[in-house]
Amino acid sequence: MALVYIGLGSNLSNPLQQIHLAVAALTQIQSSKLNQVSSLYFSRPMGPQDQPDYMNAVASLTTNLSPLTLLDELQTIENKAGRLRKDNRWGARILDLDILLFDNDIIDNERLTVPHYGLELREFVLLPLAEISPTLSLPNGKSVLSLSQNIETNGLKIHSKLR
């Protein structure tokens, strides 16, 4: 079994509902078990500012799936939410499900980069991650808690508990 952390994000089509539906969908992934879900956070857009604020959360999952099979499952959930793959990289999106960490694995291929390239730079990933796993370290040895305490919070605020 691998321990995986997944970042959830939405800023279109009722983000609150999108994140709730996505959490429900995560519980249905084959050969996997949803462990923890962070609070739901409001965050300011990273990238172009002419888009709505985001809602973000982080979940942990244990899985017997391979990284790419898990990625297929997450993309199926995104597609069912109405996410268009051709969406521009830095633009608004209905639902984004990112594999942040997959055990201590380092993965780098055309489809998948783990740890997620933005992990250490994004308050909307680090704070929810530290909330559910304060003792976690990244494969490079850095403490998630200390990263989260040293990053600019950029107005991030807790909206609600998810479960």
Q: What residue ranges bind ligand ROI (CB under 6 A)?
A: 9, 43-47, 54, 56, 90, 96, 124
Tell me if 31 sits within 8 A of 64, measured CB to CB.
Answer: yes
Closest to ligand ROI by CB, 33 or 157: 157
For the CB of residue 22, give the shortest distance to ligand ROI in the complex, in Å.
Answer: 12
For the CB of residue 156, give the shortest distance to ligand ROI in the complex, in Å.
Answer: 8
Residue nearest to ligand ROI (CB): 9
Query: What residues act catalytically?
Result: 83, 93, 96, 98
Q: How big, in percent rounded to 5, are the helix, strand and coil portions of the chain? A: 30, 30, 45
Q: Is the dihedral of CA 26, 94, 160, 2 positive or negative?
A: positive
Instruction: Please provide the DSSP assignment of 76-129 as one string.
Output: HHHHHTT--TTS-TTS--S-EEEEEEETT--EESSS-EES-TTGGG-HHHHHHH
For the CB of residue 30, give the shortest distance to ligand ROI in the complex, in Å.
Answer: 26
Closest to ligand ROI by CB, 65 or 147: 147
Closest to ligand ROI by CB, 52 or 134: 52
